[in-house]
Amino acid sequence: MSELYTKSLAEMAGLLRSGEVSAVEAVRACLDRIEATEPKLRALITVMGEEALKQAEAMDARGPDASRPLWGVPMVLKDLLTTKGVKTTCGSKILEDFVPFFDATAVVKLQEAGAILIGKANMDEFAMGSSTENSAFFSTGNPWDVERVPGGSSGGSGATVAAGQCFAALGTDTGGSIRLPASFCGIVGLKPTYGRVSRFGLIAYGSSLDQIGPMTRSVEDAAHVLQVIAGHDPKDSTSVDVPVPDYLAGLGREDLSGVTIGLPEEYWGEGLDPEVEAACRAAVARMEELGAKTVPVKLALTDYAIATYYIIAMAEASSNLSRFDGVRFGYRNKEAEELIDMYTSSRTQGFGDEVQRRIIIGTYVLSSGYYDAYYNKAAKVRRLLREDFDKAFTKCDLIAGPVCPTTAFKAGDKADPLQMYLMDIFTISLNLAGLPGMSLPVGLGKDSSMPVGLQFMGRPFEEETMLSVADCLERNLDPMAMPEL
């Protein structure tokens, strides 16, 4: 098997641009890696091998195009981004046979930049979960230990990148769904500011929370992908028309002098696994050695974030998923005799348990008599959470803390939904506030030998600061090896 799959995206893009490697060779390297690892990993719902090779052959015939920064680079998409003529399932039986007639804006931008899309990644159904165990089709394994979960809901995207099946993937982050699998799989995952990347063509879970972002094997690679997909889109009313900076220009700094890092006491206390705390504190200490100043900050409403998030997210899920009724979209039970039976049985058979649970709770909190008691209060707390961050950022440039209280757990260990929800305790506040964040691998847990991610949180639309600091730290840590599968 070709060892090309071990290259970073930046390295592969350079080899392709120079003509040292052809697009067909890059695609074949990834397809060979998929064939070798997928039986154990099961990261992909759809493999677009034949189409990818045809596209690569056509690109090679024309020759490298220096104006397209991702020319010939194989990539994977989370399976809730619409792809013209290619099945898009959202990990759900209700969309098992759905073939869109248009591409999501982020997909169009990747294709315009020359990326070759080779697969659609497994995910928790409709992005509802933290382990990719809620997929209607199969569970995905963690490349470091296939008995453990890869995180979720973008677990397939995280696993496929970590295993070398592609050079980068797109995930989506509603409450940590990029950062958590990035932490569990030992890769970089970046959630941009809400509105930085177009959501057009993203099949929504929580419309005020969802954001598309890159999952890669290095900070530099994440900057390359974000540079391509960021920007205003008139097709998306939530897309913000602000300038997109040169994310690559800020990389390569020699030290962190002049940078102040806030450490929220709520993220470093009780409930944090000792091996996670040790790895994250060692990374913070390394930033201090590089010249960064650290200061304590308070995010006092963190304890209320879980309740606030799940009220808002489930309410939005109830609204967004109402269209999947067996008439307008989705699976239909053709044996039902009455209309109401068709609606009920189609949704019962088409949606999994977790999705049904969230729809029911979301409908409840929006219902007459309960809207003010639950949803309206959650919306107010959300505003206060954002104010907490605003106050903290008066003292620092970035906030840092663990991504998750633990490393990747074994499949089946979190059967209680409430236990699973608590995996998101350190990530969901950022989505409620609409701020950018990322996970950077900072080592392996001493006991579990599983990856640990340090989370950076930034001011709105200041992804370049976060990337610059993370890049400097990454280059001053021991490199994260690729897992052996």
What is the C-alpha to C-alpha distance for residues 290 and 255, in angstroms, rounded to an integer?
5
Cβ atoms within 10 Å, residue 191: 32
- Total residues belonging to the chain: 485
- Domain of residue 364, residue span: 1-485
CATH number at residue 105: 3.90.1300.10
* Residue spans of the chain under pLDDT 70: 1
pTM of the model: 0.96
Domains in the chain: how many in total? 1
The pLDDT, as a whole number, for residue 270 is: 84
Residue by residue, DSSP assigns 277-290 as: HHHHHHHHHHHHHT
The pLDDT, as a whole number, for residue 337 is: 87
What is the C-alpha to C-alpha distance for residues 151 and 261, in angstroms, rounded to an integer?
26
Using alpha carbons only, give the angle 154, 158, 159 rounded to the nearest 5 degrees: 115
The pLDDT, as a whole number, for residue 329 is: 81
3-class state of residue 113 by DSSP? coil
Tens of pLDDT, residues 17-41: 999 999 999 999 999 999 999 999 9
The pLDDT, as a whole number, for residue 105 is: 98
Known catalytic residues are 78, 153, 177
Tokens of 172: 């989506």
Please give the distance of CA 151 from its chain centroid, rounded to a whole number: 10
CB 174 within 8 A of CB 313: yes
H or E segment to which residue 229 belongs: helix 219-229
The pLDDT, as a whole number, for residue 191 is: 98
Give the list of residues 6+ apart from residue 378 with CB closer than 8 angstroms, or none.
307, 308, 311, 312, 365
The pLDDT, as a whole number, for residue 330 is: 84
